[in-house]
Amino acid sequence: MMVVFNVALTLLSLAVICFLYRVVKGPTVADRVIALDAIGICLAGIVAVLSIILETSVFLEIILLIGILAFLGTVAFAKFLQKGVVIERDGNH
């Protein structure tokens, strides 16, 4: 049974490497942002598989945390790309 989890871990690591290729190569900034977002989600999957391998449930908060942080970071970067500022002072102008 452990072989299955190790295979899953290997495949997730390969996926991270492929996304890293897109981060390095990506012609536009948007490519890199999306690749980083996907790396974050792959990382959540790796933490999940690792917590199965280590037979512990103390890492489950980390998964939710990585999801929240990946969303926040992607939204911040998207806003920076679109508007030039991350946090506006006054939305009415």
Partner 1 sequence: MNELILRTVTAVVTFMIILFGIQLFFAGHYYPGGGFIAGLVTAGAIILLLLAFDIKTVRSMIPISYRTLIGIGLLFALGTGLGGLLFDVPFLTHAHGHVMLPLLGDVSLHTAVLFDLGVYLVVVGVTMTIIETIGEDE
- Provide the binding-site residues for partner 1, judged by CB under 8 A: 58, 61, 64-65, 68-69, 71-72, 75-76, 79, 83, 86-91
CB of 59 to partner 1, least distance (A): 8
Furthest CA-CA distance within the chain: 60
Is 1 or 89 the residue whose CB approaches partner 1 more closely? Answer: 89
What does the alpha-carbon distance between residue 67 and residue 6 come to, in Å, rounded to a whole number? 23
What does the alpha-carbon distance between residue 8 and residue 12 come to, in Å, rounded to a whole number? 6
CB of 35 to partner 1, least distance (A): 21
